[in-house]
């Protein structure tokens, strides 16, 4: 297969959060820290109810090799450890910590060198979560055997249309991003770094070039522009475009010799290597037509939606509101403001609720728009029909498992058909009918 033609939804040059610096949240009274992030295995607590903990202290460790270290986001007292629902609809243990307003913290021990084995151990210790692959970052490198990396891709743009975290981090924390990228390069022995940006962001490319030239950073790098079309930063699409290799469910971008990191991962890795800082907070974009202070926020792990909404401000407090974690094309609607924001949250959209938007779907008019927009070259309309017909063979023939669930087909459909939702269901159906293979 050749290079995938880049389809998708054209993104605007600027969004309402472009260029806004990162805001730190004011200290909260309580932090309810989830011990699981999406696909990542639940960690087990290493603290007990009643314990005093410092900011940065280890509070949970991996139960198996697919977990991450979790650190306290605050100095305080452990009030409870209990099961609670997460923003992705699963129950997991949470550690409830009450802030004691002391300014005490612990760091990771200093490292002696930046040899690759030391760096990978620091990556493991730091608790860094990979929000592209939804796995502990170190696992990508620790258990993949002797891979030869052709390049390290650093995403300086964002996966979601309502998200500007990576471009903002590059704008305001360029030193840490560039240094962190260098540590990833050392660790992977990749011969060079490719910074990937959309063609909306040429100014940031100049900023990278200028920074590297002025600071005489000693590494080989390239800049690659891709058309600003959602979901161009999806790793499967990027790997295919940049490594010219097809990636499917049975292979990974690591098999194509491509390591992928984001500007945010580079920033966090740099802080872990140079300052011994474990990961306790996530940069999250807050956007939508019902929020007063849109922007990028540094949110400690375990802050509730309720606290965040109070801080960011709501335009219309008396009307119902939609809370969406992720973007408007494929985000997950939240129904409970007590849910915690976690290290896997990238963006949150607060929208005024409009009951008339939830109109009925109409019959397919065979316009072909879904087909034209699908970035994976699938036929969404036929996939939907195969699902409705319970036709597992046809789903397989139509390469159902290649769907990346981006939502472009539903977004573009003039008949407002629930195509993506049905395809997601169909993937589960197809998995079951194939014995989960
Ligand atoms: S079929 Fe899947 S990959 Fe294609 S547009 Fe729809 S959601 Fe995206
Ligand atoms: S975009 Fe909607 S109406 Fe058009 S072919 Fe696809 S499913 Fe049918």
- What CATH number did the domain enclosing 72 receive? 3.10.20
Q: Examine residue 43 and state whether it is found in any structural domain, yes or no.
A: yes
Q: Examine residue 62 and state whether it is found in any structural domain, yes or no.
A: yes
The binding-site residues of ligand 1, defined as CB within 6 angstroms of any ligand atom, are: 374-376, 378, 380, 403-409, 420, 423
Q: Are 184 and 259 in contact (CB under 8 A)?
A: yes
Q: What pLDDT shows up at residue 7?
A: 80
Other CB atoms within a 10 A radius of the CB of residue 328 amount to 17
CA 292 to chain centre: 24
Give the strand order in the sheet containing 193-198: 221-226, 193-198, 151-155, 258-262
Pairing type for strands 151-155 and 135-136 reads unpaired
The answer to whether residues 326 and 344 belong to one domain is: yes
What's 157's DSSP letter? S
Q: Examine residue 73 and state whether it is found in any structural domain, yes or no.
A: yes
C-alpha closest to that of 84 among 95, 97, 98, 76: 95
Q: Are 367 and 424 in contact (CB under 8 A)?
A: no
- What CATH number did the domain enclosing 197 receive? 3.40.50.11540
Q: What pLDDT shows up at residue 249?
A: 54
Pairing type for strands 151-155 and 193-198 reads parallel
Q: Examine residue 22 and state whether it is found in any structural domain, yes or no.
A: no
The answer to whether residues 171 and 253 belong to one domain is: yes
**Is the beta carbon of 383 within 6 A of some atom in ligand 2?**
no
Residue 307, H or E segment: helix 305-312
Joined together, the tokens standing for residue 401 give: 């498992």
C-alpha closest to that of 312 among 278, 340, 287, 281: 287
The answer to whether residues 254 and 378 belong to one domain is: no
Query: Mind giving me the DSSP string for 332-383?
Result: EEE--TTPBP-TT--EEEEEE--GGGSPPP-------HHHHH-TT---HHHH
Separation CA 320–CA 304 (nearest Å): 18
The answer to whether residues 61 and 128 belong to one domain is: no
Q: Examine residue 268 and state whether it is found in any structural domain, yes or no.
A: yes
Of 302, 327, 352, the last residue of a domain is 352
The answer to whether residues 299 and 379 belong to one domain is: no
Query: What is the Å distance from ligand 1's center to 409 Cα?
Result: 6
Query: What is the Å distance from ligand 1's center to 76 Cα?
Result: 45
The answer to whether residues 271 and 290 belong to one domain is: no
Whole-structure pTM value: 0.88
How many CA atoms lie within 13 Å of 319's alpha carbon, on the beta-carbon side?
14
Separation CA 266–CA 288 (nearest Å): 28
Of 246, 275, 304, the last residue of a domain is 275
Of 322, 352, 382, the last residue of a domain is 352
The answer to whether residues 256 and 214 belong to one domain is: yes
Cβ-based neighbours of 11, under 8 Å, separated by 6 or more: 161, 198, 200, 228, 229, 230
C-alpha closest to that of 88 among 45, 40, 44: 40
Q: Determine if the peptide bond prior to 299 is cis (ω within 30°).
A: no
If one residue of 360, 361, 366, 422 were mutated to test the ligand 2 pocket, choosing by the most ligand atoms within 8 A of its CB, it would be 366
Q: Are 376 and 241 in contact (CB under 8 A)?
A: no
Q: Examine residue 21 and state whether it is found in any structural domain, yes or no.
A: no
The answer to whether residues 261 and 294 belong to one domain is: no
Query: What is the Å distance from ligand 2's center to 113 Cα?
Result: 56
Joined together, the tokens standing for residue 188 give: 């992977």
Cβ-based neighbours of 226, under 8 Å, separated by 6 or more: 6, 196, 197, 198, 199, 232, 233, 238, 241
Is residue 203 classed exposed, middle or buried when 0-12, 13-18 and 19+ CB atoms within 10 A define those classes?
exposed
Q: What pLDDT shows up at residue 433?
A: 56
Q: What pLDDT shows up at residue 357?
A: 62
Range of the domain at 318: 28-100+280-352
3-class secondary structure, 432: helix
Q: Number of structural domains, the chain?
A: 3
CA end-to-end span of the chain:
23
Separation CA 79–CA 192 (nearest Å): 47
**Is the beta carbon of 423 within 6 A of some atom in ligand 2?**
no
Separation CA 246–CA 382 (nearest Å): 23
Q: Examine residue 224 and state whether it is found in any structural domain, yes or no.
A: yes
Which residue's alpha carbon is at the smallest distance from atom 8 of ligand 1? Answer: 406
With a cut of 50, list the residues of the chain below it in pLDDT. 1-4, 146, 435-437
Joined together, the tokens standing for residue 337 give: 């403001």
Q: What pLDDT shows up at residue 305?
A: 94
Query: What is the Å distance from ligand 2's center to 40 Cα?
Result: 35
Helices and strands in the chain, H and E counts: 13, 21
Q: What pLDDT shows up at residue 244?
A: 64
How many CA atoms lie within 13 Å of 401's alpha carbon, on the beta-carbon side?
18
Q: Examine residue 359 and state whether it is found in any structural domain, yes or no.
A: no
The answer to whether residues 126 and 271 belong to one domain is: yes
The answer to whether residues 249 and 394 belong to one domain is: no
The answer to whether residues 116 and 90 belong to one domain is: no
The answer to whether residues 132 and 256 belong to one domain is: yes
**Is the beta carbon of 415 within 6 A of some atom in ligand 2?**
yes
Which residue's alpha carbon is at the smallest distance from atom 1 of ligand 2? Answer: 413
Separation CA 425–CA 288 (nearest Å): 28
Query: What is the Å distance from ligand 2's center to 11 Cα?
Result: 21
3-class secondary structure, 289: coil
Q: Are 327 and 162 in contact (CB under 8 A)?
A: yes
3-class secondary structure, 24: strand
Query: What is the Å distance from ligand 2's center to 367 Cα?
Result: 5
């Amino acid at each position: 297969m050749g290079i995938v033609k880049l389809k998708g939804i054209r993104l605007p040059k600027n969004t309402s959060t472009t260029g806004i610096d990162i805001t730190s949240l004011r200290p909260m009274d309580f932090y309810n820290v989830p011990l699981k992030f999406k696909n990542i295995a639940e960690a087990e607590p290493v603290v007990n109810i009643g314990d005093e903990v410092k900011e940065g202290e280890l509070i949970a460790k991996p139960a198996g090799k697919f977990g991450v270290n979790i650190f306290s986001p605050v100095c305080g007292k452990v009030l409870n450890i209990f099961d609670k629902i997460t923003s992705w609809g699963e129950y997991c243990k949470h550690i409830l910590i009450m802030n004691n307003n002391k300014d005490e913290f612990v760091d990771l021990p200093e490292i002696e060198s930046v040899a690759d084995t030391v760096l990978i151990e620091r990556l493991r210790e730091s608790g860094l979560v990979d929000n592209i692959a939804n796995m502990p970052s170190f696992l990508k490198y620790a258990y993949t055997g002797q891979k030869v990396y052709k390049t390290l891709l650093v995403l300086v743009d964002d996966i979601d249309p309502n998200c500007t975290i990576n471009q903002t981090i590059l704008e305001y924390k360029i030193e840490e991003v560039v240094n962190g990228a260098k540590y990833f390069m050392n660790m992977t022995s990749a011969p060079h770094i490719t910074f990937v940006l959309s063609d909306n962001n040429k100014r940031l490319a100049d900023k990278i070039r200028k920074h590297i030239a002025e600071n005489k950073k000693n590494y080989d790098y390239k800049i690659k522009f891709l058309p600003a079309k959602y979901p161009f930063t999806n790793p499967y699409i990027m790997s295919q475009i940049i490594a010219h290799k097809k990636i499917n469910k049975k292979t990974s971008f690591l098999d194509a010799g491509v390591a992928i990191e984001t500007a945010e991962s580079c920033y966090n890795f740099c802080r872990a290597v140079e300052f011994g800082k474990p990961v306790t907070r996530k940069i999250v974009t807050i956007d939508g037509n019902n929020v007063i202070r849109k922007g990028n926020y540094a949110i400690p792990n375990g802050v509730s939606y309720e606290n965040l909404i109070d801080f960011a401000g709501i335009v219309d407090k008396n009307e119902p509101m939609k809370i969406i974690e992720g973007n408007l094309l494929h985000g997950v609607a939240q129904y409970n403001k007590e849910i915690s924001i976690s290290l896997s949250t990238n963006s949150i959209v607060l929208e005024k609720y409009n009951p008339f938007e939830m109109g009925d779907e109409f019959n397919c008019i065979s316009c072909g728009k879904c087909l034209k927009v699908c970035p994976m070259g699938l036929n969404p309309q036929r996939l939907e029909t195969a699902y409705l017909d319970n036709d597992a063979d046809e789903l397989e023939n139509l390469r159902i498992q290649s769907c990346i669930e981006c939502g472009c087909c539903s977004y573009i459909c003039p008949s407002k058909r629930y195509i993506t939702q049905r395809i997601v269901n169909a993937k589960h159906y197809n998995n079951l009918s194939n014995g989960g293979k």
